[in-house]
Amino acid sequence: MIHEGDLTPPTGRFAIVAARFNSVVVDRLVEGALDGLKRHGVADKNVDVAYVPGSFEIPLIAQKLGETGSYVAVICLGAIIRGDTDHYDHVAGGAVSGIASASLKTGIPVIFGILTCENMEQAMNRAGGKAGNKGFEAAATAVEMVNLIKKLG
Ligand code: INI
């Protein structure tokens, strides 16, 4: 037997946690995620958005939101750009492991929609530019995971 989630309209509320750092990029990711949720049948009224200072702060708030029991999935959006910082690796590493941990602790999908890029051009390309919109992809991933978890019972 094959277990796989699909993209049918899910029930339940979704949360987005977005970093304000590099907001010119992240605002586009948020737009993409909201569009992606809407196109998969999630009404705007069923989506809450929380803003944090930077990507490093995302996991804590994702976990807190997950622990409320009010959400079927949390979508994390940020942009970590190497050119801007010499602590890129620490911020990126903290975000990756924190988000994985939040998902396992809360038992709901906590989706990694954080761009890790060499420069601003690369980031903009992935935030609605020629490489698509990672926020939209993160929304579709969230819907698929919610539907898979529902199927698994
Ligand atoms: N946060 C980001 O989301 N992206 C970055 O590129 C970034 N840089 O370059 O430093 C960044 N730093 C802030 C970090 O996320 C925390 O907010 C800060 O360290 C306070 O904990």
CB 23 within 8 A of CB 56: no
Number of other CB atoms surrounding residue 109 within 10 Å: 22
CB 79 within 8 A of CB 120: no
- pLDDT class of 35 with cuts at 50, 70, 90: very high
What element of type H or E holds 71? strand 71-81
Quote the ligand 1 centre to 56 CA distance (angstroms): 6
Q: Which of 26, 85, 87 to mutate to test the pocket of ligand 1 (most atoms within 8 A of CB)?
A: 85
Q: Which domains does the chain have, with CATH numbers?
A: 14-54+67-146 (3.40.50.960)
Q: Is the pLDDT of residue 28 over 90?
A: yes
pTM: 0.97
106 touches ligand 1 (CB under 6 Å): no
Number of other CB atoms surrounding residue 128 within 10 Å: 19
Among 58, 138, 72, which residue's Cα sits nearest to residue 108? 72
Q: Is the pLDDT of residue 7 over 90?
A: yes
What mean pLDDT value characterizes the chain?
A: 96
52 touches ligand 1 (CB under 6 Å): no
Q: What is the pLDDT of residue 87?
A: 84
CB 139 within 8 A of CB 41: no
